[in-house]
Structure 1
Amino acid sequence: MTKKELKAFLDEKVVLYNNPKFIESDPIQIPHLFSKKEDIEIAGFLTATISWGKRKMIIKNASKMMDLLEFSPYDFVINHQKSDLKMFENFVHRTFNTIDLQQFITSLQHIYKKHQGLENVLKIKNNEENYKNAIHHLKQVFFEVPHQQRTQKHISDPIKNSAAKRINMFLRWMVRSDKAGVDFGIWKNHNPAHLSCPLDVHSGNVARKLKLLQRKQNDWKALSELDINLRKLDLIDPVKYDFALFGLGVFEKF
């Protein structure tokens, strides 16, 4: 397949999957429950954090989190007292448990009260082309407050060569301007050209079959390689191809 043919093929798949029907079976439906910017951010961040495993279970447990937050995530995060966190007892999603959820609410309060929110913390420097250092910075800020060591594993760090799939997915939701109405594009001080594809088993396998990726591990080095090749297809909106790679892998078993 030539580069021109590959672009045409993937562009066709983007149109197929980047539409409102995608929301019905995807965890992005949880932040779509909200209209306030900060509610969307926090709902999106918490949902993305537990986005591994079966999607029905992700959606079920993310909905449970929103219920615990009284469907006002920003208000709860900002105004909660330590005693309010007791209501999260018995919450669990795979290895993400009560302790982790309580810590996330505490850390998010710190981020919104002391660091002007997630949008500001994840802003990249002018001379950087991706979110590698911004995600590393998020992890540092997130754990400035007292915490248990176990919770650190739930925030990935590209500096340690993690592909940071869930945070990159969250960034796509917040940053990418999407005429189809799937991604939110509410972070106007960010540039979608800097986004990286949320690399997982499905998108990685499809990317390798299409020769967009050679590296075998799904790590940050692989993501950097995929970034280069997706930017050759669309320099302005490279991460739109996440819809194509994911759709081909999950829905078409490509």
Structure 2
Amino acid sequence: MPVPETEPVPLSGYIVDLLNQKYEQYNRPDFIPHDPISIPNRFSLRQDIEIMGFWASILAWGQRKTIISKCSELVLQMDGAPYDFIVNHQESDLKRFLHFKHRTFNATDTLYFLHFFRDFYREHDSLEEAFLRGMNVGDQTVEGALRGFHDLFCSLEDFSARTRKHIATPARKSSCKRLNMFLRWMVRQDNRGVDFGLWRRIQPGQLVCPCDVHVDRVARHLGLITRPQTDWQTATELTASLRQLDPHDPVKYDFALFGLGIEGYV
């Protein structure tokens, strides 16, 4: 069952002005080169953007420089064309991934990701379909999409239980930071040159704000979050607060909160 959102605390004029100012400052193409979104930004084919956007978001923990380096390694191992490699590779081509590792993400996880992508793209044109399966008309947030995607992703016969930890779900009360970031990249449509806006059936107003350490810290300082722990309910509480500023695109303020965190605002 979807978790009901906490009633948001009204925002002061200072907070509204600050967040709008920082959104304008950070939602710009010069944000891209030092962020994991630079990885899918290398491509023009939609499936390449989806595949490497998904992978970059899942590997997005640790130093951004390292994340970008490891994702670049994956792109190189897929001959610079992720979608073509995934749908056309031979079994012998997979040997090159046996030593890939980023923190707790290892070769077992890598090979399963490749298997899932191959299986999915042989039947579907866009990864959006994998998230739509869990959504219903009128859903306020993407909670159902994340639950449904998790179950689909983990459903193949050779699924390894160790890989499950890399695919978060609200069903385990996770804030789903990385998947919410991926959905932001794919769904938001503002022609600012950062987010791609490739998907049209999930709406920006349904997105949930990614709660990384910077966003969480700044949001608590500004009173946008009152819940003591950081979990799915915290993410929806933050999003409800941001919806007061823009009900149709609350997650655009992810730029502001993250930027303030990087600046050392708190």
TM over 0.5: yes
Distance (Å, rounded) in 2 between the aligned partners of 1:120 and 1:4:
40
Distance (Å, rounded) in 2 between the aligned partners of 1:83 and 1:227:
45
Q: Cα 1:63–1:240, aligned 2, differ >3 Å: closer, same or farther? A: same
Contact 1:39-1:72 within 8 A present in 2 as well: yes
Pair 1:35-2:44 in alignment: yes
Which residue pairs with 2:170 in the alignment? 158
Contact 1:201-1:218 within 8 A present in 2 as well: no
Distance (Å, rounded) in 2 between the aligned partners of 1:239 and 1:153:
25
Contact 1:88-1:101 within 8 A present in 2 as well: yes
Which residue pairs with 1:167 in the alignment? 179
Pair 1:104-2:113 in alignment: yes
Pair 1:240-2:240 in alignment: no
Pair 1:90-2:74 in alignment: no
Contact 1:175-1:191 within 8 A present in 2 as well: yes
One-letter identity of the residue aligned with 2:149: L
Q: CA RMSD in A?
A: 1.4
Which residue pairs with 2:202 in the alignment? 190
Between stretches 39-48 and 142-151, larger displacement belongs to 142-151
> 1:110: Cα distance to partner?
1.8
One-letter identity of the residue aligned with 2:170: P
Pair 1:139-2:162 in alignment: no
Distance (Å, rounded) in 1 between the aligned partners of 2:199 and 2:114:
21
> 1:86: Cα distance to partner?
1.2
5 Å matches for 1:1-254? 3-123=12-132, 124-145=135-156, 146-254=158-266
Which residue pairs with 2:7 in the alignment? none
Q: Output the TM-score relative to the length of structure 1.
A: 0.96
> 1:168: Cα distance to partner?
0.4
Deviations 1:41-65 (CA, angstroms, capped at 9, x unpaired): 0010011110001100000001101
| Secondary structure of the structure 2 residue equivalent to 1:241 | helix
Q: Output the TM-score relative to the length of structure 2.
A: 0.92
> 1:210: Cα distance to partner?
0.4
Deviations 1:162-221 (CA, angstroms, capped at 9, x unpaired): 011000000000000132100000112221010111101110110000000011211101
Comparing both chains, which one has the higher relative contact order based on Cα–Cα distances under 8 Å and sequence gaps of 6 or more?
Answer: 2
> 1:253: Cα distance to partner?
4.0
Deviations 1:128-158 (CA, angstroms, capped at 9, x unpaired): 1111111111111112211211111110011
Distance (Å, rounded) in 1 between the aligned partners of 2:161 and 2:33:
35
One-letter identity of the residue aligned with 1:206: V
Distance (Å, rounded) in 2 between the aligned partners of 1:96 and 1:238:
31
Deviations 1:215-249 (CA, angstroms, capped at 9, x unpaired): 12111010111111111111011011000000001
> 1:113: Cα distance to partner?
2.1
Q: Percent identity?
A: 44
One-letter identity of the residue aligned with 2:25: L
Distance (Å, rounded) in 1 between the aligned partners of 2:94 and 2:170:
30
Between stretches 244-253 and 92-101, larger displacement belongs to 244-253
Task: Considering fraction of residues, name the structure with more helix.
Answer: 1
